[in-house]
Amino acid sequence: MDDQQGLNESERAALHDLQLGIEHLHRGYGHLLAFHHAVGRGMNRFDDAREKLRASGHDEHADALRDDLLPAGVVDGQWTYELVEAFVDEFLDPVDEFEAAVREELADGRRHVTEDRQRRAWRERSEKDW
């Protein structure tokens, strides 16, 4: 059965799942940014410790921080900003583009088609004029 938007139930359900998937991926991206910022702050503290170790005569530990830990990446030599960029460029942007293309084809680009249908239904049963 088609609704006012010209979508059948299966199309609406698919668009809803795509929308929820996109929202979860963007939430994951936010967590990835938080990870990036937390690791950066931690590395800044290690650099502060490096200076203090050197100042207190512990050159071997300061050198280890300077030469081994601070320049190292968190995954396969990559720094967290590189992970963020790779996630966006190689995954998030293509997924966003795919979802937008499907939404454009099926719903003329409209977002949240399920929620829109619910909003209309709730307003129709309401005694208020919107």
pLDDT in tens, 80-103: 999 999 999 999 999 999 999 999
- Which pLDDT score is estimated for 46? 98
Low-confidence ranges of the chain (pLDDT < 50): 1-2
79, 32 in Cβ contact below 8 A? no
46, 37 in Cβ contact below 8 A? no
d(CA 33, CA 22): 16
- Which pLDDT score is estimated for 60? 98
- Which pLDDT score is estimated for 5? 63
- Which pLDDT score is estimated for 2? 44
Q: How far apart are the first and last CA of the chain?
A: 27
SS3 125: helix
